[in-house]
Amino acid sequence: MNEPPRSPAPDGLDPFDGADGFDGADGFDGAHGLDPLEIRASAVRGPHRRFGLGGWIALAWMVLLVGAALLAPVLPFADPDVSNAAISRQGPSSAALLGGDANGRDVFARMVYGARASLAIGLGAIAVGLVVGGALGLLGGYYGRKVDAFVAGSFDVMLSVPALILALAFNVFLGPEVRNMIFALGIVAIPQLGRITRANTLAWSQREFVRAARAQGARNGRVILREILPNVLPAMFSVALLGVGVAIVAEGGLSLLGAGVKSGTITWGTMIAAGRTELETTPWVVLAPATAIFLTVLALNFLGDAIRVRFDVREAAL
């Protein structure tokens, strides 16, 4: 296997190396080999070089969000399902931080409770993608030949359908439950995370120390787990964080398309979908979850990039 020629500059982008067809020898199989996460990852290169203030703010937001979501039942938030006529259709006030919706429910409370489901969906989907996609990518990248052809081929086929459409189809087919949403988005995440794992595995597999380990007779499983995986992990995690953001956005998009979780479960997406028709009269109902999504994606992008910088993830992914 040839090592793909490296680009000269550290943050350069040379996607057109080693485009030599369907033997899957390189991570970048011709122009159509890029998947949405890779494009995203390459572009989300923050203007900073160190963790910096932005990174800390991002981290703080995520900690705050996850904390609030986990501890919501014990924290002094209003009940997100209870109707309070006094705040019904009222904007932000002292009674309700972010106003009340048409049913008189506290929008701030709903946003926090919505975080629970939305984060669960985002994290769950990426977890599925990481585990399944990662495993497949490792196996394909390491073993090469037929295994890799199968793995790379499957990824290519799955990437051939626009992600939203794939998720939509699975979601509609399976039904409007949170776990089905996780499954559907997880399926979409598998090839995206798998490709990056595979590309990284390919590059690392050719390194001297790996070859040495194999020459010394170490078993394949051991090599994968102890030599390759730890080196591939940073790249995977970096992209995974971006992926969580993408999955949360996807949940929002699917809800707007009518394929969201069922009525009664609060997610940011369903809040937006439900409040959309009264956008003009009660905009806060929609703008609150929308802003929450924005801030979360922003924070995740920051963090994902920070990890990439911290562990100096090489462009072998691309």
Considering only residues 64-103, where is the footprint of another protein by CB under 8 A? 81-83, 85, 88-89, 101-103
User: How many residues of this chain interact with another protein, rule: CB under 8 A?
Assistant: 82
What does the alpha-carbon distance between residue 170 and residue 94 come to, in Å, rounded to a whole number?
43
Q: What is the DSSP string of 26-92?
A: SS--SGGG--HHHHHHHH---S-SS-HHHHHHHHHHHHHHHHHHHHTTTSSPPPTT---GGGTT--S
Binding to another protein, residues 285-304 (CB under 8 A): 286-287, 290-291, 293-294, 297-298, 301
Q: Residue 172 Cβ, how far from another protein at the closest point, in Å?
A: 6
Binding to another protein, residues 13-32 (CB under 8 A): 13-16, 19-22, 30-32
Of 196, 207, 183, which is closest to residue 304 (Cα–Cα)?
196
What does the alpha-carbon distance between residue 105 and residue 303 come to, in Å, rounded to a whole number?
33
Beta bridge partners of 100: 106
Using CB under 8 A, which of the segments 64-72, 140-148, 153-161, 204-212 binds another protein?
A: 153-161
Residue 244 is a binding residue for another protein (CB under 8 A): no
| Residue from 43, 53, 74, 215 binding another protein (CB under 8 A) | 43
Residue 276 is a binding residue for another protein (CB under 8 A): yes
Q: Residue 130 Cβ, how far from another protein at the closest point, in Å?
A: 20
Query: Residue 106 in 3-state DSSP?
Result: strand
Q: What is the DSSP string of 274-287?
A: HHGGGTTT-THHHH
| Residue from 46, 52, 92, 234 binding another protein (CB under 8 A) | 46
Residue 156 is a binding residue for another protein (CB under 8 A): yes
